[in-house]
Structure 1
Amino acid sequence: MWVKLAFKLFSRELRRGELTIIFAAIALAVLTVFSLSAITERISLNLAQKSSDFIASDRRLSSNHAFEPQLLTQANKFGLATAEMLYFDSMLFANDELVLSSVKAITGSYPLRGKITIKDHLTSPAYDVDTGPKAGSIWLSEGLFYTLNVNVGDKIELGAGLFNVTKVLVKEPDAPFFSLSGNKRVLLNYADIPTTQAVQPGSRVFHRLLFAGNEQQLSEYYAWLKPQLKSNQTWQGIKDRQSPLGNNIVRAERFLLLAGLFGIMLAAVAMAVSAKRYCERQYDPVAMMKTLGGSRKVIRNIFLLHLSLVTVFSIVAGLMVGFVLQTIGADYLASFMGTELPQAGFRPWLLSAFIGLVCALMFSLKPLLDLFDIPPLRVLRRNLGDTLAISRIHIALSMMTIFVLMWIFSGEIMTTLILFASTLLIIAILFAISRLLFAAGRRLGLRPGSSWSLALATLQKRANANAIQLISFALAIKLMLFLVILKNDIITDWQMQVPADAPNMFIINIAEEQVTPIKQFFRDNNIAHEDFYPVFSGRVDAVNGEKFARRVSKQEGEEKDKNAKKGVSREPNLTWLASLPEGNVITEGQWFTYGVTGGNDIEVSVFDGWQDVLGLELGDTITLLVNEQVINAKVTSFRKVDWGTLKPNFVMILSPNMAGKVPVTYFSAAKLHDSDTKAISQLLQRYPTISMIDIKSQIEQAQAIIAQVSLAIGFVLSIVLVSGALVLVSQVQASLAERMEEMVILRTLGAKGRLIKLATLYEFMLLGGIAGLVAAIVSDIALLVIQQQLFDVAGRLHPYIWLLGPLSGALFVSSIGYFMVAHTMRQNTQGLLRKLG
């Protein structure tokens, strides 16, 4: 019986638009979460795919010795595609020229991800291919053609083998970052390794296995592989690399994560407010039903069925609209990036439907319980039940739900806490401001004939409702300002770390007497370059006289001193400098004093990441072992180093009085263009001991990541703008009936139409301006914390948004709000009364 009645009431409320608010709110929550999560997932997948291209696979296994055949056999059983590689250095001989080169031997399936870029001749255009050279032929990098004076089609000796040069090697997806032979690269077929006779027992070679497949296959294979990994074997993905590229990928994912969290927050607030509004509008119908004999159980079943139906319909509608929206956005982004974005998986569908369902349940639960408690006497005393309008339980439940949803979406408690705490701060400030407006409205609202007075009086009359509206407006504006700053400032700062004119080549192994002629060579050829840094390697042997554990040979039966402290196994590159390098920030202590003024005490500034590793404090004495020489240095400062800048950086910098105490080589960085290849080849011929390290691919990859994230943030900003407008529309629509009543009363009392219009416009301007000002200040503070905690940069405030926030808020809210009520104000009093009746 009650089901039939419920469907009749549901049909009637649909026609009257009573369910429009809650339907729009749930649909908005679903479409916002779906479109944002889908587009960010597609961008993330594209970044991951491009990053996998950078290592020519999804994962790789590195070793200094040959792999057991079972590793490949088992990988194939897990459904993984595989390829083998072998790196070694060998001599090339042609035209009476002999040069050391870096050889990479590959199987036919290489590369598993990405493309190899080649040219048919030195002057022909470059193009991409999916596989390497065939047996009996080799591909040479361009510099080798000039060094050896050969052309495509010539014969060349590699080790003991004679090979035909068939292509010019332009770029490999996993070009080696460090190589003793720099840009002298050779690509060889794996089957030709025995022909070269360059790989013998004891040869210095590097083996790699490449793997490609989905994450489940890779995880299952790694679970099988992990117990069998030897100590000198390393399993790597692109995020595992301690490199600028890996850091940039992590940073990009944090940007996209923030964008998705903004959508979650906005959608949840819209749903919470709309559910409460809808239930408040049902107070009178419920009181009437109870008067006519309806039981609490019947009323509960009716409205729960209504909520279930509208939830299902709105989730479906939200998914459909969200799918269309993210498809349009993804196609737009793909056209700008010149790529094809991978399709998102099931996660956006499941996540958005889950969030829509949770929002409908959690944000409607308390208002519905209040609705069922409405007394029948409300039909005679309209104020009965109004005390249920504000519920601390409902507020607490809503806040807890928003926090949990954000946490589920992000998976990062720190990010969630920062954004959630800033939201609570906005709410607290705006509730305080609403109380002030209440008091101001009492004093100013009695002045007749003033639109401002009438606006303040209206704000005072709806103080509680306006407080909720202020929060909704402020959160929408906050998210917009967040994204504006992310796109215009933070991403710009990130991009400045990898500028277009950044050096793309490191020059190493430069002798001191070669520094001056190489500088002159750069000047003569108009090649921009960085300073020349003295470099030497040293091992941290002890701190304050306490030695670290020694690396000794277990093969000879020796073991490490079990009582010794564990130090750092690798020998880092060290330097001495008189001034703090760009991009380094002193976090503790001070820069060199005695070393600069010529004192005898050697000082050292240490990367703060090694502070805990070595257990260091200011004033400690570090003992460095450089070859057989012992160097003692006093720790005077710790530095924060941004390794993502692709600039020369050091874990330890010593004071200038270190000069002359140890033998050093120099290194620098230069910005090279394709036209400089011939000149650089001549330089390498003149100074065969120096080497070039090409980082052009790393820079291009970092710049591509930044460009994609910037476009994604711009797209998310447009979605948040539309979503914020929809939240505002639903808020104003919920108060239309009350505004109609006020308009009828004002017109009856003789108020002119212009007075009412201006008062309405001023009311929205005040709401938007106040919300924008609070949102701007709190957003700037929250962004400062985010910059420091999530992106590991010093961060700064952005005072310009303190003006942009209130101005944009006033314009945004007044434009949409006035547009929503303009039609109502144009109607005559009789028409308004008819609608109210």
Structure 2
Amino acid sequence: MWAKLALRLFFRELRRGELTIIFAAISLAVLTVFSLSSVTERIRLNIEQKSADFIAADRRLSSNHELDENYLKVAQDFGLRTAQNIYFDSMLFAGDELVLGSIKAVSNSHPLRGKITLKDALEGEQYEVAAAPAQGEAWLSEGLFYTLGLKVGDQVEIGAGMFSVTKVLVQEPDAAFFSLAGNKRVLLNIADIPATQAVQPGSDVFYRLLFAGDEQLLKDYYVWLKPQLRENQSWQGIKDRQSPLGENLERSERFLLLAGLFGIMLAAVAMAVSAKRYCERQYDPVAMMKTLGGSRRTIKRIFLMHLSLVTVSSLLIGLAIGYGLQEVAVDYLTQFVANELPAAGPRPWLLSIAIGVVCALMFSLKPLLDLFDIPPLRVLRRSLGDKLAVSRVHMALSVGTIFMLMWLFSGDIKTTLLLFAGTATLMGVLFGLSRVFFSAGRKLGLSPGNSWSLAIATLQKRANANAVQLISFALAIKLMLFLFVLKNDMISDWQMQVPEDAPNAFLINIGERDVDQFKQFFAEQNIHHEAFYPVFRGRVNALNGEAFARRVSRQEGEEQQEDARSGVGRELNLTWTDTLPDGNEILEGQWFEQTDELQVSVFEGTAERVGIELGDTLTFLVNTQTFEAKVTSIRSVDWGTLKPNFVMIFNSAMAQRLPVTYFTAAKLEDSHVRPISRKLLQYPTVSMIDIKNNIAQVQSMIAQVSLAIGFVLSIVLISGALVLISQVQASLAERMQEVVILRTLGARGRLIKLATLYEFLLLGALAGFVAALVSDVTLFIIQQQLFGVDGRLHPYVWLLGPASGAAFVAFIGYFMVAHTMRQNTQGLLRKVA
């Protein structure tokens, strides 16, 4: 019996529109979560896939000595695809020319991810393949063709083997970020290594195994592999890669995660407001049911059934709209990323359903309990039950639910806490400020009949309700401002890291007497280049006379002394200069002064890890010479600029103490390839490192994240608008009463309209001002804590916030109540009654 009554009431209220608010709120939450999580997940997977293409695999195992063949066999048993790479240097001979080239021998399955870019002739068109050279063939980089005077089809001798040159090697997905083989690269089939006779016992050879497959299979395989790995063997994925690419991948994931959280927060706020408003509108019907003999149990069943029906239908509609929305967004994004975005998997579906159900249950729980407690006497005394309208328990429950939803979506407690704390601060500041503002308005003494006076009087009359509205408005504005500034700020920072004139090639091993020749060459060819730095290799042996732990021979069974201090652990590329390089900033101490004393500036990361402080003395071993230098400064280094950077820099007192070569970076265009190759032919000891492919990868990532955030911003804008609509809708009944009273007292329609417009302008401006201040401070903290960049304030937002807030709230608010003010007094009286 109760079910039949519940269904009858349900369809009746659907026709009346009583359930529209809560239905729209749940649908909004679901479609927002689904579209945001799906798009951001697909963008994230695409970035990871491209990043995996960049290392030609999902994971790789690297070693300076030959790897156990059983590693490959077990990986294949796990269901992983595998490939092998072997790197070594060897002489190349062609006619009367010879040059030292860097050889990479690969198995037939290489590459596992990504593609190799080739040309069939020096002047031919580029194309991509996912294949290895056939046995007996060699693919050579363009620089080697010029150096050796070759053309496709010629023969080249590599070590003791003769090979046919069949392709021009343009790009490899797994080229090292800083590879000395930049313009002298050779790709061979791994089966041809015996023919070269270049790999012998004691040869300097580098080995690498590549793996690709399901993420869980890779993790399971690593669990088996890890106990067998030695210290000089490394297991890496793209996130482990020490390069700007790996750093930008982590940063982009945080960015997409942060953007998705905003949609969750706004959808949750809309649901909380709407659920409470819906239950408040049922107070009179429930009182009537109780008066007519309806039991609490029956009423509970009726409204729980209503909630269940609304939740299920909202989930279905929300998922359908969200799916269509993300498909439109993905089709749009695909035009810019030039490839099909991978499927997102089940996570967006499961997450959206879970959040929709949680929203419906948690945000409706306390209002429903209040609804069931409505006394029957409310049919005679309408004020009974109104004290339930403002519930601290409901507010606390809603706040806690929002926090849990954010944590569920992000899986990162630090990010969730930062955003949540910023939002809580905003709410506290606004509530206090609103009370002061509304109270102060009484003392302004504005004249009767004035629109501003009426607007301020209305704000005072609904002080508590307006305080809640103000918080909702400010929250929506804050999140939109936050995302807008973050998008522009962070994307701008990334683009600044890779500016248009950023170097894309490095030249090393330049002799001191050849520096002027290269400077002249760069000037003639109009090639932008960085400064020429003297470079030498050295090892830090001691700190303040305390020797670091020396390397031990495992072959001889030696063990490292347990009490020995850990040092840098490797030889460093060192330089000297009297000028602080671009992208470096002094954090402690001061830059070098003119002195004959040997001084050194240290990168902050190394100083922190090793325990180096200002005034310490470092002992260096360079070749057979030992030097002591005083630490005079600690520097931050922006490695992402792709400009020459060093862990340690000496002052010019180091000059003339030992032989050096020089190092520089340049920005090369396609037209510079042939001239630079011919120039390098005159200097066989000079090597060029080409990183154009790496820069293109980083820029592609930036473009994808920018597009994704633009989509998220539009979703957040819609969500914010719906939050405002739900808040204004909640006050429509009271506004109808006010309009009726004002018209009865003789107020003109223009006066009422302007007063309503000014009311929303004041609310929007105040909400926007506080939202701008709080969002800017929160952004400052997040930039430092989550993105690892120097935070900065944005004063322009303090003006943009009030202006945009006033315009946004006034437009939506006035649009919502305009229909009410156009109705005649008789029609309004019927609705109020």
Shorter-chain TM-score range: over 0.9
- Aligned in 2, Cα 1:123/1:419: closer, same or farther, shift over 3 Å? same
Task: State the one-letter code of the partner of 1:523.
Answer: A
Residue 591 (structure 1) aligned with residue 590 (structure 2) = yes
Residue 541 (structure 1) aligned with residue 541 (structure 2) = yes
Cα distance, 1:443 vs structure 2? 4.2
Equivalence for 2:669: 673
Cα distance, 1:246 vs structure 2? 0.4
Q: Secondary structure at the match of 2:610?
A: coil
Q: Secondary structure at the match of 1:397?
A: helix
Distance 1:407 1:599 in 2: 58
Equivalence for 1:201: 201
Equivalent residue runs for 1:420-819 within 5 Å? 420-443=420-443, 447-587=447-587, 589-592=588-591, 595-600=592-597, 602-819=598-815
Equivalent residue runs for 1:267-278 within 5 Å? 267-278=267-278
Cα distance per residue 1:293-328 (max 9 Å; x no partner): 223222222222222221121122111111111110
Cα distance per residue 1:767-807 (max 9 Å; x no partner): 11111111111111111111111121212111111111111
Cα distance per residue 1:160-197 (max 9 Å; x no partner): 11111111111111123344443111111122111111
Cα distance per residue 1:260-308 (max 9 Å; x no partner): 1111111111111112212222222222222222232222222222222
Equivalence for 1:256: 256
Equivalent residue runs for 1:8-407 within 5 Å? 8-407=8-407
Unaligned runs of 5+ in 2: none
Cα distance, 1:128 vs structure 2? 1.0
Could you tell me the percent identity over the aligned residues?
A: 71
Q: Is the 8 A contact 1:38 1:326 kept in 2?
A: yes
Q: Secondary structure at the match of 2:431?
A: helix
Q: Secondary structure at the match of 1:464?
A: helix
Distance 1:374 1:451 in 2: 38
Q: Secondary structure at the match of 2:434?
A: helix
Cα distance per residue 1:586-606 (max 9 Å; x no partner): 33x2223xx422242x33222
Cα distance per residue 1:542-593 (max 9 Å; x no partner): 2222222110212223322222112221122222232332222333x2223x
Q: Secondary structure at the match of 2:528?
A: coil
Q: Secondary structure at the match of 1:111?
A: coil
**Which one is further off, 488-497 or 446-455?**
446-455
Cα distance, 1:35 vs structure 2? 0.8
Cα distance, 1:753 vs structure 2? 0.9
Cα distance, 1:126 vs structure 2? 0.8
Cα distance per residue 1:328-379 (max 9 Å; x no partner): 0111111122221111111111111111111122222222222222222222
Cα distance, 1:721 vs structure 2? 1.0
- The total of aligned residue pairs comes to 833
Q: Is the 8 A contact 2:25 2:271 kept in 1?
A: yes
Q: Secondary structure at the match of 1:563?
A: coil
Distance 1:514 1:766 in 2: 70
Q: Is the 8 A contact 1:591 1:605 kept in 2?
A: no
Distance 2:435 2:330 in 1: 45
Distance 1:172 1:467 in 2: 60
Distance 1:784 1:250 in 2: 19
Q: Is the 8 A contact 1:21 1:734 kept in 2?
A: no
Cα distance, 1:441 vs structure 2? 4.4
Task: State the one-letter code of the partner of 1:612.
Answer: E
Q: Secondary structure at the match of 1:199?
A: coil
Distance 1:586 1:287 in 2: 72
Distance 1:599 1:194 in 2: 55
Q: Is the 8 A contact 1:90 1:159 kept in 2?
A: yes
Q: Secondary structure at the match of 1:157?
A: strand
Task: State the one-letter code of the partner of 2:120.
Answer: D
Task: State the one-letter code of the partner of 1:373.
Answer: D
Q: Secondary structure at the match of 2:609?
A: coil
Task: State the one-letter code of the partner of 2:635.
Answer: R
Q: Is the 8 A contact 1:25 1:270 kept in 2?
A: yes
Unaligned runs of 5+ in 1: none
Task: State the one-letter code of the partner of 2:645.
Answer: N
Distance 2:60 2:157 in 1: 30
Distance 1:465 1:288 in 2: 26
**Which one is further off, 432-441 or 801-810?**
432-441
Distance 2:401 2:393 in 1: 12
Distance 1:442 1:290 in 2: 42
Distance 1:544 1:691 in 2: 37
Q: Is the 8 A contact 1:445 1:456 kept in 2?
A: no
Task: State the one-letter code of the partner of 1:233.
Answer: Q
- Aligned in 2, Cα 1:731/1:513: closer, same or farther, shift over 3 Å? same
Cα distance, 1:107 vs structure 2? 1.7
Cα distance, 1:822 vs structure 2? 1.5
**Which one is further off, 769-778 or 286-295?**
286-295
Root mean square deviation of aligned Cα: 1.7
Cα distance, 1:122 vs structure 2? 0.9
Cα distance per residue 1:466-525 (max 9 Å; x no partner): 222212211111121122212222211221110122100111112222212211121122
**Which one is further off, 254-263 or 188-197?**
188-197
